[in-house]
Structure 1
Amino acid sequence: MNIQQLRVFAVAAQCKSLTEAAEALGIKQPTVRFHLKKLETALGVELFYKQPRHFRLTEAGNALLPYARRVSTLLTEAGQIMEEFRHGGRGTLKIGVSYTPATYFLPPLSRRIPGGVPACPADFDR
């Protein structure tokens, strides 16, 4: 079982046919069939009842679906965060200052940072 197979499965489960799943994924229908067959082989269970022109999930497919969706969502979120790092929109800013500047100068300056400043971490020392 691999990530691509789970992603294809999650999309296919929402579609009425392999052709519709292929269009949603932007790949060819034989590729969808290949990934689903490899996933079923790896798991040792049938995930779909195959019928001409459409299919539906088996009990095993219904059980796997929430996990496949969760994995797919987490991978998408991880990719988005890495994209933010790539373009400089995410990271950690550490500022070391004594008590007086931290109390009087940093609060007004931090309000100028686009997007604001998140809450201070638990290990913040003043």
Structure 2
Amino acid sequence: MVDQANVSDDNRIKIITGSENITNFMLESYKRANRKMDTCLDFVGPSIVATDHRIMNGVFEMLQRGIKIRFITDVTKENINYCKDLMEVCEIRHIEGIKGNFGILDENEYVIHLIHLESQAPVK
């Protein structure tokens, strides 16, 4: 489900629910990136990114287009293997205790999402 509230021609707020809709929105946003994607993820985020083949395929496609990808996350003993997998394809930095998840595309598109279970895509 997608709800839109148009603030102006250039600014839109979208609320997307359902894990499949959210994943599809994320994949579409990857296609809009022209230069870089900066993402902040809590300790659960790396497991979702690293284990969802659709998201990883989107990451690889961005890399092939020359998009710089950077993650900031809370690296823990529970997610270290997922982080190592991601480090093979993008830059990862650690900040202990991060709460919340968001991404910024090309310094102008802000996407926030909620994640609540390890290895499951967000539902809102």
Query: Highest Rg: 1 or 2?
Result: 1
Which structure shows the bigger proportion of residues in strand conformation?
2
For the criterion TM > 0.5, the same-fold answer is no
Question: Larger relative contact order (C-alpha < 8 A, sep ≥ 6)?
Answer: 2
TM score, norm. by length of structure 1: 0.29
